[in-house]
């Protein structure tokens, strides 16, 4: 694999990247599991002579952060998560991520989920510092072909997500509210100066479905999405027929 050179700045955001992710999960108890994460986007090429390196295939978790640290040209991040099942229906999830050594490189997430036979609910809150998943060189951020690999809003985000769903026979109703506060001038590139201004986004999403064929998940659906932001309000409405061949869904939709 040959990396594109930096002598073509117009194509720099679309440069191919080399990335590795290590994830290790350990079950502490029957209802508690702990996960460890390490990710790195390796330094971009300085010339067209740079080739694939065997260090990209290193399978040992935390070896990259030990070798490079968190503030290297190789954009290294580490993290951990914990999943706790209080019962069959009630679970909590905690996640921590560190991208740089200071507090602006910290991200945290906490969620509470309930899954019943006919009702489900989720409340999730997250905070991403101004330097999380970002880098001063845009070619080192956690994006690929200028598309985010993680949170679509980039760095510098506080977000609250509330979801609920209910099923009655073959009718399913799903709703979601997303309240997002985005710090101005913060994206996947670390800004030279961050102002105190924040931008607020709110999304309302509701879908009503009728299952025509439970075995293939063939369904009629109607969806409405409403957005409120700094530039005003928008609404979108969809109606259609679709099927879901993968049977991976919550108990509320079984």
**Does the pLDDT value for residue 157 go beyond 50?**
yes
* Buried-state track 140-163, b at ≥16 Cβ within 10 A, e below 16: bbbbeeeeebbbebbbbbebebeb
Q: Say which residues have a Cβ less than 8 Å from residue 82's Cβ, sequence separation at least 6.
A: 32, 33, 34, 35, 93, 94, 95
**What whole-number distance in Å separates Cα of residue 50 and Cα of residue 4?**
9
Q: Could you tell me the domains of the chain?
A: 9-253 (2.40.160)
User: Which tokens sit at 220?
Assistant: 């009629």
| pLDDT at residue 19 in the model | 85
Task: State which H helix or E strand residue 240 sits in.
Answer: strand 232-242
The total number of residues shown for the chain amounts to 254
Classify residue 214 as left (phi > 0), alpha (psi -120 to 50) or beta.
alpha
> Is-above-0.85 flag for pTM?
no
Q: Please give the order of strands across the beta sheet that includes 198-213.
A: 19-29, 32-41, 75-85, 90-98, 106-115, 119-128, 157-168, 171-183, 198-213, 218-229, 232-242
Classify residue 215 as left (phi > 0), alpha (psi -120 to 50) or beta.
alpha
- In order of 43, 57, 124, 141, 232, the CA distances from 47 in angstroms are 12, 22, 44, 19, 46
> How confident is the model over 89-113, as pLDDT tens digits?
999 999 999 998 888 899 999 999 9
Residue among 72, 130, 132, 63 at smallest CA distance from 97: 132
Contact 141, 134 (CB under 8 A): yes
**What whole-number distance in Å separates Cα of residue 142 and Cα of residue 165?**
32
**Does the pLDDT value for residue 181 go beyond 90?**
yes
| pLDDT at residue 155 in the model | 85
> How confident is the model over 123-132, as pLDDT tens digits?
999 999 988 8
Q: Which residue has the higher pLDDT, 138 or 231?
A: 231
Q: What angle do CA 114, 151, 125 make, to 5 degrees?
A: 40
Q: Say which residues have a Cβ less than 8 Å from residue 195's Cβ, sequence separation at least 6.
A: 184, 185
Residue 238 Cα to chain centre, angstroms: 25
Instruction: Please give the mean pLDDT across all residues of the chain.
Output: 84
């Amino acid at each position: 694999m040959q990396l594109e050179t930096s002598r073509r700045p117009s194509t720099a955001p679309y440069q191919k990247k080399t990335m590795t992710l290590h994830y290790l999960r350990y079950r502490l108890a029957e209802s508690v599991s702990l996960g460890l994460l390490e990710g790195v986007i390796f330094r971009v090429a300085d010339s067209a002579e740079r080739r694939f390196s065997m260090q990209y295939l290193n399978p040992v978790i935390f070896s990259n952060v030990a070798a490079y640290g968190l503030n290297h040209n190789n954009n290294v991040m580490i993290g951990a998560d914990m999943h706790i099942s209080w019962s069959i229906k009630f679970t909590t999830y905690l996640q921590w991520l560190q991208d740089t050594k200071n507090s602006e490189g910290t991200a945290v997430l906490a969620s509470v989920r309930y899954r019943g036979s006919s009702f489900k609910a989720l409340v999730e809150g997250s905070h991403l510092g101004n330097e999380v998943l970002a880098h001063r060189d845009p070619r080192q951020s956690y994006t690929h072909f200028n598309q985010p690999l993680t949170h679509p809003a980039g760095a510098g985000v506080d977000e609250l997500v509330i979801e609920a769903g209910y099923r009655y026979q073959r009718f399913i109703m799903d709703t979601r509210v997303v309240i997002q506060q985005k710090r101005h001038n913060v994206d996947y590139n670390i800004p030279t100066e961050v102002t105190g201004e924040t931008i607020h986004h709110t999304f309302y999403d509701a879908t009503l479905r009728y299952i025509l064929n439970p075995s293939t998940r063939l369904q009629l659906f109607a969806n409405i999405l409403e957005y409120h932001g700094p530039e005003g309000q928008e609404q979108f409405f969809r109606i259609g027929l679709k099927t879901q061949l993968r049977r991976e869904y919550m108990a509320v939709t079984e």
